[in-house]
Amino acid sequence: MSALGALQPRLGYSFCDESLLRLALTHPSVAHEQGASVQHNQRLEFLGDAVLQLVLTDELYEKFPAMGEGPLTKARAQMVNRRALAKQGRRLGLGEHLILSRGEEASGGRERPSALADAFEALLGAIFLDGGFKAARDFVLRQFREEFGELEVIPNLENPKGELQELLQANSTEAPQYQLESVSGPDHDRLFESAVYHQGVELGRGRGKSKKEAESQAALVALGNLRRKGEPHS
């Protein structure tokens, strides 16, 4: 059995045209190395992104009739962020099947979150072209059912610590670190102060009636500081 043949049972989908699967796994670095005429997965990624948005939008719309546009948009954004898609790609084992340039291979490209996220979207685009919308929809719901418990509850929309981690890890593998700086006040009315650091740099401080609340406030302050600067700390 070929390497791609071994991958397909893991996907739960068998390609009629295996060349589409191969294209979905071909990283753009191959074109840079071998010449612009070599096809790679960016066009399929573009297509797969649109299919993914439509499938999840439809699923959220049907499952949560009382939710307005704002919460539904935030929920969808949380589900399709780059970290979540990289996790999907990693779970399917796409990294070991990526077709990379020598340079990208040497620099750890098989485990790079952006490459895994892009390959997942490109794979979805390939399934859509090969088997149609129903096949693509079934694939998406199968993958996200495992991740989100069949979307029986709306994803958490108010998670500043998660948002901060996602923002920072777009450019770094290092997670933010929270440190309790002080505790003041009587036992029945404590005030906690926490700070959040990334790569040794303090990004923000927050206070609250619990350590958890103080960390959330610190993350909110850090998000505001980073967005005012216009780019993540690196």
Q: Where are the alpha helices (DSSP H) in the chain?
A: 3-11, 18-24, 29-34, 42-63, 69-79, 82-91, 102-106, 113-131, 133-148, 160-169, 211-229
157 — pLDDT class (breaks 50, 70, 90) = low
Q: Is 160-229 assigned to CATH 3.30.160.20? A: yes
Q: Is 3-151 assigned to CATH 1.10.1520.10? A: yes
Higher-confidence position of 182 and 154: 182
Domain boundaries, given as residue ranges, for the chain:
3-151, 160-229
Tens-digit pLDDT profile for residues 19-56 = 999 999 999 888 777 766 778 999 999 999 999 999 99
List the one residue out of 141, 132, 124, 144 whose CA is nearest residue 23. Answer: 124
- At residue 24, the pLDDT reads 96
The rounded percent of the chain whose pLDDT value lies above 70 is 89
Residue 182 has pLDDT above 90, yes or no: yes
- At residue 154, the pLDDT reads 56
49, 104, 193, 215: which one is catalytic? 49
Q: Are 192 and 183 in contact (CB under 8 A)?
A: yes
Tens-digit pLDDT profile for residues 208-227 = 888 988 998 898 888 878 86
Among the listed ranges 7-11, 35-39, 69-73, 119-123, which one has the minimum average pLDDT value? 35-39
Active site residue 138: no
Higher-confidence position of 149 and 41: 41
Active site residue 121: yes
- At residue 172, the pLDDT reads 83
- At residue 150, the pLDDT reads 44
Integer Rg of the chain from CA: 21
Residue 54 CA neighbour count, 13 Å, CB half: 15
146 — pLDDT class (breaks 50, 70, 90) = low
| Separation of alpha carbons 135 and 170, rounded Å | 30
59, 104, 118, 121: which one is catalytic? 121
